[in-house]
Amino acid sequence: MELDLETMLAEGPLAVEWAERIEAALPAERLRVQLTWLDDTRRQMLFSANGAHYQQLLADFRQQVFGA
């Protein structure tokens, strides 16, 4: 099966589970959200931004959520 990632990305946000399996096909500039299972009721979210646009989005998110 071949994925048309360019078309999917042009249409808006795209969530990819197990993205490390297709790392070479992903755009260099992106926002990565890593979810880690902590227990039955808690998850940890780790955000990392590559590229100026996504770094600004993450900075804005941090400001709105944490005021920092």
The domain of 25 spans 5-66
pLDDT, one tens digit per residue, over 7-29 is 887 888 888 888 888 888 888 99
pLDDT at 33: 92
Angle at 19 between CA 18 and CA 24, to 5 degrees: 140
Q: Where are the beta strands (DSSP E) in 22-68?
A: 30-39, 42-50
Does residue 30 register a pLDDT over 80?
A: yes
**Rg of the Cα atoms in the chain:** 14
What pTM was estimated for this model as a whole? Answer: 0.71
Give how many domains the chain has, as a whole number.
1
Does residue 1 register a pLDDT over 80?
A: no
pLDDT, one tens digit per residue, over 34-58 is 999 999 999 999 999 999 999 999 9
User: Residue 29 gets which letter from DSSP?
Assistant: S
Separation CA 7–CA 20 (nearest Å): 20
